[in-house]
Amino acid sequence: MSIFSSVRAVTGGPPYTVNLSDDLGHQWLADEPLDLGGANNATSPDRMLLGSLGACTAITLQMYAARKQWPLTGVEVELQLNPAGEAAVGNNITRKISLHGELDEVQRQRLLQIANACPIHKILTGEVRINSLLATF
């Protein structure tokens, strides 16, 4: 993960559909489901957040195992936001990690520790400051 990342979000088409692009030239969509007034053209922002954590977890584990030359052949990460309903304070994410390959228990436990150190995990569990301002035209 790079230290500096930039994403732009632009609306203007169907209600709640957002065109996203990043500083690397990638483009994708976000939307809301039909029951919330969206067109369901793409996944919702909360699911994108979970997807970021899942992707980062899987990539971090693959990179670590490759450096250690461990026999990790695949990773599956299932995530849920507030599976028990909205929390009284904060939010809860449940992350279930399935590791594939002939790993011993020491390796499996180390990979769990590494999952908790992936960059997106650190962002979500650390202090996040959001500086919002209006652009001038």
Exposed (0-12), middle (13-18) or buried (19+): which is 3, by Cβ within 10 Å? exposed
Per-residue pLDDT, 36: 95
Per-residue pLDDT, 2: 60
Q: What pLDDT digit, counting tens, does each position of 88-115 carry? A: 888 999 999 999 999 999 999 999 999 9
Write the DSSP symbol of residue 28: E
Please name the residues in contact with 117: beta carbons below 8 A apart, sequence gap of 6 or more.
60
Token pair for 128: 């996040």
- The partner residues of 98 in beta bridges, in order of sequence, read 76
Q: Cβ–Cβ contacts within 10 Å for residue 4, how many?
A: 5
Q: Cβ–Cβ contacts within 10 Å for residue 27, how many?
A: 9
Per-residue pLDDT, 13: 87
* CATH number of this structure's domain 44-128, picked from the four choices 1.10.760.10, 3.30.300.20, 3.30.360.10, 3.30.750.24: 3.30.300.20
Per-residue pLDDT, 137: 81
Distance CA 102, CA 74 (A): 11
Q: How far apart are the first and last CA of the chain?
A: 32
Distance CA 101, CA 61 (A): 12
> 99 and 108 in contact (C-beta within 8 Å)?
yes
Domain boundaries of the chain, sorted by first residue: 1-43, 44-128
